[in-house]
């Protein structure tokens, strides 16, 4: 069982963590069969095994002077504690470029997973995406994304969901 992450509710499903033969966590030095395998920005050294508990508690970010999300690539919220939780105690996600973490209703959204436009259609959330679409954080106009972000596309799609109103938000980037 792993801790609950407010902004990344299913990090095993999204691939932020790997499972396997127990390895020693570089932070707490305890054996773990689940470890982090997504972006971790640190100037200290490359850290390749961090257990979920050390991320959730903030111990890994503190020990290695690192962040799981670049604060410059996150939406704006009024409460600095929310940014701290996002960058220091939330597993990041893989993206083609550097990830961006959108905010909605004055809080960060929860990362749901990787999508293409067919997934969005199958989920029936096209109208929500149209309502929340922010051209300033996406690689193209929505019409281009609808047409080109399908299957093996050069456009990567990342689906997030507002924790307050429940609307879905799309972030896209390119290879």
Q: Which residue has the tokens 């690539």?
A: 73
H or E element at residue 96: none
Asked if residue 161 and residue 111 are part of one domain, the reply reads yes
Q: What is the pLDDT of residues 86-133, one digit of tens each?
A: 999 999 999 998 899 999 999 999 999 999 999 999 999 999 999 999
Question: Is 169 domain-assigned?
Answer: yes
Asked if residue 166 and residue 99 are part of one domain, the reply reads yes
Task: Look up the domain containing 160 and give its range.
Answer: 95-174
Q: What is the pLDDT of residues 4-45, one digit of tens each?
A: 999 999 999 999 999 999 999 999 999 999 999 888 999 877
């Amino acid at each position: 069982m792993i801790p609950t992450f407010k902004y990344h509710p299913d990090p095993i499903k999204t691939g932020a963590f790997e499972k396997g033969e127990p390895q020693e966590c570089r932070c707490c030095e305890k054996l773990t069969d689940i470890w982090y395998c997504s972006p971790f920005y640190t100037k200290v050294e490359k850290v390749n095994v961090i257990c979920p508990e050390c991320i959730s508690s903030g111990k890994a970010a503190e020990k290695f002077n690192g962040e799981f999300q670049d604060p410059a690539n996150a939406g704006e919220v009024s409460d600095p504690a929310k940014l701290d939780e996002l960058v220091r105690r939330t597993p990041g996600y893989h993206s083609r470029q550097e990830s961006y973490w959108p905010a909605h209703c004055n809080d960060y959204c929860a990362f749901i997973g990787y999508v293409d436009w067919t997934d969005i259609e199958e989920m029936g959330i096209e109208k929500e995406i149209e309502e929340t679409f922010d051209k300033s954080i996406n690689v193209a106009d929505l019409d281009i994304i609808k047409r080109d972000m399908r299957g093996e596309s050069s456009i990567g799609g990342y689906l997030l969901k507002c924790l307050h109103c429940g609307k879905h938000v799309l972030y896209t980037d390119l290879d």
